Amino acid sequence: MASRGCTTAIILALLAALIALVVWLAPDIRARLNPMESARETVERELESIFHPTPTIRPSPATIVREVRGLSRLETVVYTVEKVITAESGQGALAFLFGDKLLLVAHGQVIAGVDLEKLGEDDVKVTDDDRVVLVLPPAEIFVVRLDSEKTFVYDRETGLFGLKPDLESAARQAAEQEILRAALADGILETADRNARSFLEGFIRSFGFQGVVFIQATPVPPPSIQPVTVVPLTPTP
């Protein structure tokens, strides 16, 4: 009896599987048996898409400007560098009395990007081929700063009457200038511009546009680098 019941269960399982297979293959079988009907349905769908297309909604230039300006100051690159600066005062024959000399290890950052708040409504156009033409504000330096936790006086030699309280401050200012100089020489503004274009192209394409054409606005003059009175050693990027 047990064997007969097991056989019955197997037969029922096979029948269920066969029925499921027939149901799954039914559309394909029907299309093969009646190819004209399948072709007619395909043509009807194509005609429907031609004469009654689904409307595509694209943001207006004003909307694009508002969305892009919402990104505000877009920081696209951070340049980190370490510099070694030596600052000295009162050196010479009487340095043991009035001299002051220190060695500063400076760790700092320069942050650059594009200020998208400068974007105006006339800076964005939408072409007939569904592309956006954007006049991109030039890349600029946003921040030059020292990391106080990683910047320290490595060594200091002070004469008997030579302590200069403002010598370390002067060395820190010189370090910021040296870090900025290194970042500009390394092409930080070019990198910031390139990264901004890459980000904005993806951002604008997400609205459904086919592409973005960038027009470079008048570049911003790089920040001036003030002369310093301290003597920098060979920098260590």
* Sign of the C-alpha dihedral computed for residues 38, 39, 40 and 46 taken in this order: positive
Q: Could you tell me the CA-to-CA distances from 33 to 26, 43, 78 in Å, in that order?
A: 10, 18, 66
Contact 118, 138 (CB under 8 A): no
- 215/126 same-domain check: yes
Check residues 19 and 122 and name the one with the higher pLDDT: 122
- 174/216 same-domain check: yes
Q: Which residues pair with 156 in a beta bridge?
A: 102
Q: Could you tell me the CA-to-CA distances from 212 to 84, 101, 198 in Å, in that order?
A: 43, 55, 10
Is 93 part of a structural domain of the chain? no
Neighbours of 60 (CB within 10 A): 11
Residue numbers of the domain that contains 28: 2-51
- 16/72 same-domain check: no
Give pLDDT, residue 180: 92
Q: Measure the CA–CA gap between 188 and 140, rounded to whole angstroms.
A: 9
Is 112 part of a structural domain of the chain? yes
Q: Are strands 139-146 and 152-158 parallel, antiparallel or unpaired?
A: unpaired
Number of domains in the chain: 2
Is 42 part of a structural domain of the chain? yes
DSSP-assigned letters across all residues of 156-211: EEE-TT---TTHHHHHHHHHHHHHHHHHHHTTHHHHHHHHHHHHHHHHHHTTT-SE
Is 29 part of a structural domain of the chain? yes
- 170/213 same-domain check: yes
- 120/204 same-domain check: yes
Q: What share of the chain is helix, strand, coil (3-state, %, to 5)?
A: 45, 30, 30
Q: Measure the CA–CA gap between 179 and 214, rounded to whole angstroms.
A: 30
Is 187 part of a structural domain of the chain? yes
pLDDT tens-digit map of 138-175? 999 999 999 888 988 877 776 566 566 778 788 888 88
- 171/220 same-domain check: yes
Taking the model in full, what pTM does it have? Answer: 0.63
Q: Measure the CA–CA gap between 48 and 65, rounded to whole angstroms.
A: 35
pLDDT tens-digit map of 166-206? 787 888 888 899 999 999 999 999 999 999 999 999 988 88
Is 39 part of a structural domain of the chain? yes
- 226/200 same-domain check: yes
Is 101 part of a structural domain of the chain? no
pLDDT tens-digit map of 45-76? 655 555 555 555 566 767 777 777 777 888 89
- 178/218 same-domain check: yes
- 140/222 same-domain check: yes
Is 77 part of a structural domain of the chain? yes
Q: Measure the CA–CA gap between 174 and 178, rounded to whole angstroms.
A: 6
Give pLDDT, residue 111: 94
**pLDDT-based confidence at residue 42 (cuts at 50, 70, 90):** low
Name the strand (E) or helix (H) holding 2: helix 2-33
- Measured N-to-C along each axis, helices 188-205 and 167-185 cross at an angle, to the nearest 10 degrees, of 60
- 27/6 same-domain check: yes
The domain boundary, picked from 12, 30, 51, lies at 51
- 135/221 same-domain check: yes
Q: Measure the CA–CA gap between 192 and 199, rounded to whole angstroms.
A: 11
